[in-house]
Amino acid sequence: MSSVADPLVVDHHAGPAPCAHGTSSGFWRAAARPLAVAGAAAAAVATVGLRDPHVAGNYPSCPSFGVHCPGCGSMRATHYLANGDLVGMASRNIMVPLALILLTWAWGAWCDRRLGHARVPALRPPVPVLYASVVVVVGFAVLRNLPWEPFTALAP
């Protein structure tokens, strides 16, 4: 028996077939969803970059009841990011740069797999890392609401 696979036999248990790199329609069909998500994200960042969230009335106010939640300041951070001010972005919400790194990685891995590759590892952290992430986010929410230095620097 030959060890060479028969190209006419289809293995239905091998998972999705890679996209046809030889045709442009195969590439665009595979890349359509990741590109749509990237376009929507770029449009949202551009909108926040053009309409300053510091100006009253540009966006609805947050119903936070006087408490800084973990996401508080993220729209202002996005405004600074869209205008190229990375220090301003980090000063509004220190979690935004980390979130951007993780979201970019996840999008890249998704796009890579949609195109039939597996070069970018998917983000699949172990359960203890997920629990630790929840503890970090809740801890961040508590610390940024404390009225003492150095914790007041965490408030947006």
Q: What is the pLDDT of residue 137?
A: 92
Q: DSSP alpha helices (H): ranges in the chain?
A: 24-50, 74-82, 86-92, 95-114, 127-143
Dihedral over alpha carbons 48, 54, 59, 60 (to 10 degrees): 140
What percent of the chain shows pLDDT beyond 70? 84
Lowest mean pLDDT among 12-21, 24-33, 112-121, 144-153: 12-21
Distance CA 100, CA 114 (A): 21
pLDDT surpasses 90 at 7: no
Q: Six-digit token pair at 108? A: 């890249």
Place of tokens 């220190």: 94
How do residues 18-36 score in pLDDT, each as one tens digit?
A: 544 556 678 888 888 999 9
Q: For residue range 84-102, what is the model confidence (pLDDT) as tens digits?
A: 999 999 999 999 999 999 9
- Nearest Cα to Cα of residue 107 among 119, 122, 117: 122
Q: How far apart are the first and last CA of the chain?
A: 69
79: Cα within 13 Å, side-chain hemisphere: 15
Whether the Cβ atoms of residue 70 and residue 148 lie closer than 8 Å to each other: no
- Write down the pTM of the prediction: 0.72
